[in-house]
Amino acid sequence: MLALEAQRQIAALRESIARHDRAYYLLDAPEISDASYDGLMLQLRSLEQQFPQLITADSPTQRVSGGVAEGFETIAHEVPMLSLANAFSEADVAAFDRRVRDSLTASQQDLLPAELTYSAELKFDGLAVSLRYEEGQFVRAVTRGDGSAGEDVSANVRTMRAVPLRLNAIGELPESLEVRGEVLMFREDFQRLNARQRAQGEREFVNPRNAAAGSLRQLDCAVTAQRPLRFFAYGIGAVDAKTEGRLPASQFALLEWLVALGLPVGAVRARLQGPRALLSFWQDALARRPQLPYDIDGVVYKLDHRPWQEALGWVARSPRWAIAHKFPAEEALSEVLDIEVQVGRTGALTPVAKLRPTFVGGVTVANASLHNEDEVRRKDIQIGDIVVVRRAGDVIPEVVRVLVEQRPRTARAFSMPTACPVCGSAVAREPEGAVLRCLGGLFCGAQRRQALWHFAQRRAMGIEGLGEKIIDQLVERAWVRTPADLYQLSATQLAPLFRAKNPAEDSRAAHKLVAAIAASRRVRLERFVFALGIRHVGEEIARVLASYFGDLDPMMEADWSALAARKQAVQKENQRRRTRGEALEPVPLEGVGSEILASLQLFFAQEHNRAVIRALRAAGVHWERLPATAPDGLELLSTTDDAPLADAGTMQARPWEGKTVVITGRLESLTREEASEQIRNGGGKVASSVSARTDFVLAGAEAGSKLERALALGVTVIDEAEFLRRIANGYD
């Protein structure tokens, strides 16, 4: 390359880096990812190494990036705040160790140890500041700025609870001490801040680092005081001569001294010997990175012996005795080639960006979750956009933001489908939610595994032996498409799925499973309703529905909108009666809210779901009809022949009919769940707290406050023996 062409490229790179420095450090609105920025710096440094005559004092490689924002007083650093050179590979770390050893060998007379000792720390992704203390009292805070001078943010830092206004008195306090460290924001705090910004219609921050920088640079310190900023110290700057002579000779011990003074220091740090130990620390930090409460973008290695640090000195931009070992980029640029919709195990429809493959977070990423339609709209993501993609550790990649200024004319907007892309069933948006869901729960192939597991579980149809491994194989072989197909399986067909040590054991397990499936054909209505997997319908709601309707057919044909209106009217009338001291009218489907009613309406409106229910009935699944509590005039009982209504002679005795029971303490012969089931079978309701409306309290051993409240209210208390006697005799 000719020098003239190199000069042109160097000038363009310097101009680009300066523009991005301003966007990142001053405006808190980065235009490119950290990885792309590092790439520009590497290009510039490579060209300057080839053409050293073109290096100038104002080159980004010769100074610390940054500047002073308007509105703050400029304060010169007594000791410059330099940045660190970067290492990106194992070879870079080995080369750093070799350079340090070679430089010490040339400058020191003492024999060096076989392995040099380093202090290793996490590299926080925040804003560097210098805190000045005089006689232990906080007096000033200055940002790094351009390394020589920074912004006076003393008033803002003074509002941060993480920064002590007075140091602990451990011996004689320094006359003057500059503490260098990082201001940052924890991830959870960042999410809460952005949620608040959204709710107030204000601009959201891109990431925790920019949120911290923007919060620290507020001209009104009252705003900073409301922001959850943290601080971690990692070193010192200027210090008075008397204190300098008393400072620890070890970098690691210096951090311990800062802790003793009452300053927060990152807990993840270590003294290590040799490059192998440094790499092990880096790998451990990379592995624990997703679990940390804050963002880090690498680790820092510092020669531990501080007198040797002084001997090695600095280059124009960074100290010779320290280096930052960066992690693989967590952010990168990519292009949205398309947006597809995936259907999850619970029926949630999730838009997924199909990306031009890009290397980020140590892996090649081709897909990124867009979460939901509202998120696509909020971020204004279109097909064809250039986007910033983030991946932290093992977290699913996501699109952080769109580079709208680079949007092509061919970009096109995305709309969510109106039908499930897997099964064609209708989709519906959750009330007051952002998620669209497929309504073909019993039929949809994407939901098949989840639907079968839920259907078979103990509290639903109770098919013992039908676990996830068997279900996975049944679905993979396409032997079971809906729960009704379970009742067509044979032991011969199932035996190879168990994969035990010998065929005889497989055969026994298969016959046992077939028997369990057959036994599940007769089931209580509430358990069958729960087994259908209707969204928001848990066990208790299923019991309420079974008691109200008495059978499945009236439930399937119910006018849910009319029920919701009637429920609301009764509740309103009861408010009027309550003020007059009149008797209250029973609330229909008490405890079943509008969201559940809407879910039931959507579920039973799907022909796919109704077809599966018909197939289950055809397979012999049936239940005992119950005496319904729905109002007169509503046809409740089915006239189908598969489950004849039990007569008075065969009807189960219901000793707890209409009673509310609270269980407390430890029972001897029954589990809490078994006792609850006995009460519900006997027509009663199990409550979690004692009130004046409680009819009985079943008190076991070591009963506590619930028993005390029952005695205070005069509620009847029975022990376990009396409970079992009432069940056996069938009276209350």
Question: Rounded to an integer, what distance in angstroms lies between the CA atom of residue 479 and that of residue 490?
Answer: 11
Q: What is the 3-state secondary structure (H, E, C) of 603-641?
A: HHHCHHHHHHHHHHHHCCCECCCCCCCCCCCCCCCCCCC
Question: Rounded to an integer, what distance in angstroms lies between the CA atom of residue 430 and that of residue 437?
Answer: 7
Question: Rounded to an integer, what distance in angstroms lies between the CA atom of residue 520 and that of residue 512?
Answer: 13
Question: Rounded to an integer, what distance in angstroms lies between the CA atom of residue 172 and that of residue 135?
Answer: 9
Enter the DSSP assignment of 2.
-
Q: How many CB atoms lie within 10 A of CB 61?
A: 19
Q: Long-range contacts of range 219-224, CB-CB < 8 Å, 24 or more positions apart? A: 219/71, 219/72, 221/155, 221/156, 221/158, 221/159, 222/159, 224/156, 224/159, 224/160
Residue pointed to by tokens 């009742």: 487
Question: Rounded to an integer, what distance in angstroms lies between the CA atom of residue 673 and that of residue 694?
Answer: 19
Decide the pairing of beta strands 127-134 and 348-360. Answer: unpaired
User: CA of 246: how far to CAs of 85, 239, 241, 242, 263, in Å?
Assistant: 29, 11, 9, 7, 18
Q: List the one residue out of 330, 321, 110, 331 whose CA is nearest residue 235.
A: 321
Q: State the chain's maximal CA–CA distance in angstroms.
A: 106
Question: Rounded to an integer, what distance in angstroms lies between the CA atom of residue 461 and that of residue 517?
Answer: 9
662-676 burial code (b ≥16 CB/10 A, e <16): bbbbebeebeeeebb
User: CA of 312: how far to CAs of 104, 309, 347, 618, in Å?
Assistant: 7, 5, 62, 85
DSSP 3-state of 68? coil
DSSP 3-state of 9? helix
DSSP 3-state of 239? strand
Of the residues 123, 326, 567, 706, only one is catalytic, namely 123
Q: What region, left, alpha or beta, does residue 145 occupy, with left being phi > 0 and alpha being psi -120 to 50 degrees? A: left
Phi, psi angles (nearest 5°) of residue 319: -70, 150
Question: Rounded to an integer, what distance in angstroms lies between the CA atom of residue 327 and that of residue 334?
Answer: 19
Residue pointed to by tokens 């639903």: 460
Question: Rounded to an integer, what distance in angstroms lies between the CA atom of residue 552 and that of residue 542?
Answer: 11
Decide the pairing of beta strands 322-326 and 230-239. Answer: unpaired
Reply yes or no on whether 685 is catalytic. no
Question: Rounded to an integer, what distance in angstroms lies between the CA atom of residue 664 and that of residue 724?
Answer: 15
DSSP 3-state of 308? helix
Q: List the one residue out of 605, 558, 611, 600 whose CA is nearest residue 426.
A: 605
CB 337 within 8 A of CB 383: yes
Which are the contacts of 725, defined by CB distance < 8 A and separation ≥ 6? none
Q: List the one residue out of 360, 362, 363, 417 whose CA is nearest residue 387.
A: 360
Helix (H) or strand (E) holding 285: helix 274-288
Residues with a known catalytic role: 123
